[in-house]
Amino acid sequence: MRIIFLGPPGGGKGTQADFIAEKYDIPKLSTGDLLRESVANKTSLGNEAKGYMNRGELVPDAVVIALVEEKLASPECQKGFILDGFPRTVAQADQLANFMVSTGKEVDHVVYFSISKDEIIKRISGRRSCQECKAVYHLEYVPPKEQGMCDVCGNKLIQRNDDEPKTIESRLSVYQEQTAPLIEYYKMKNILGELDGSGLVPEVQDRLLDLLSYQKIK
Ligand code: AP5
């Protein structure tokens, strides 16, 4: 299974990608997580990416493409993968298509998470994440058992820098301008399925499994 999760910030892509990765035993490749890790480790790539991310802008294509291609070429991605947050521009999508041709494989499916702006803002404002194990929670919808602490590893939960209200609007406009055109791009290739991303996590999971089985993705 080689699959892309496409959709607005806070749409639930990462949450559902974790679920599918575990269910089908394939790696989740989240460019957001990879970039945040580089920032935390203060690598040269992380230092370059930090400003863009804090302003809610996209990191330059060349940086992200190099990061993803290196991961896709690794042995763990040979049995399949879920791309969460990549591609995000037409240039990234074109480059991914070229890369897939060079491997003789294809992306099977693109899932587009459709969700209202009001719900996106509620989800992003309440999100808390574990800096250690990357588990994601929501203060109201997916609360941790102990307030402020990660259920998985017991570390402290934090709010992402780019989840501040002033940055959310900028991320949403960047999404509309640069990423939303990919909906049409993948529709034209006949591999896009639209997922209603509203409702609680288990409801979205059920719809996602239906969509994947309908598309006969195994
Ligand atoms: P990235 O980390 O990819 O952020 P994003 O796409 O904006 O997506 P999010 O992580 O905000 O949301 P999500 O859809 O995964 O939602 P989640 O499951 O967490 O990117 C961050 C930055 O990195 C970018 O702005 C950019 O600078 C850079 N970057 C990354 N990729 C790049 C690329 N390819 N090119 C260039 N730059 C790139 O859910 C959100 C919240 O809602 C959580 O609290 C969750 O618990 C909750 N929730 C989830 N589902 C539900 C539900 N069904 N009901 C209720 N609550 C729910």
The model's pTM: 0.94
Q: Residue 154's domain spans which residues?
A: 2-26+79-214
Q: Which residue has the tokens 């999760």?
A: 5
Q: How many helices (H) and strands (E) does the chain have?
A: 9, 8
Is 160 annotated as catalytic?
Answer: yes
User: Pick the catalytic residue: 123, 127, 128, 134?
Assistant: 127
Q: Collapsing DSSP states into helix, strand and coil, what is residue 164?
A: coil
Tens of pLDDT, residue by residue over 126-140, are 999 998 898 999 999
Is 2 annotated as catalytic?
Answer: no
Contact 199, 108 (CB under 8 A): no
* 143 alpha carbon – ligand 1 mean position (Å): 17
Q: Collapsing DSSP states into helix, strand and coil, what is residue 199?
A: coil
Q: Is residue 147 part of a domain?
A: yes
Q: Is residue 104 part of a domain?
A: yes
Whether residue 13 has its Cβ less than 6 Å from ligand 1: yes
pLDDT at 210: 94
In 3-state terms the chain splits into helix, strand, coil percentages (rounded to 5) of 50, 15, 30
Q: Percent of the chain beyond pLDDT 90?
A: 91
Whether residue 83 has its Cβ less than 6 Å from ligand 1: no
Residue 24 is which amino acid? Y
Q: Is residue 38 part of a domain?
A: no
Peptide bond into 9 cis (omega under 30): no
Tens of pLDDT, residue by residue over 206-215, are 999 999 987 6
CATH number, residue 186 = 3.40.50.300
DSSP state of 207: H
Nearest CA to ligand 1 atom 39: 12
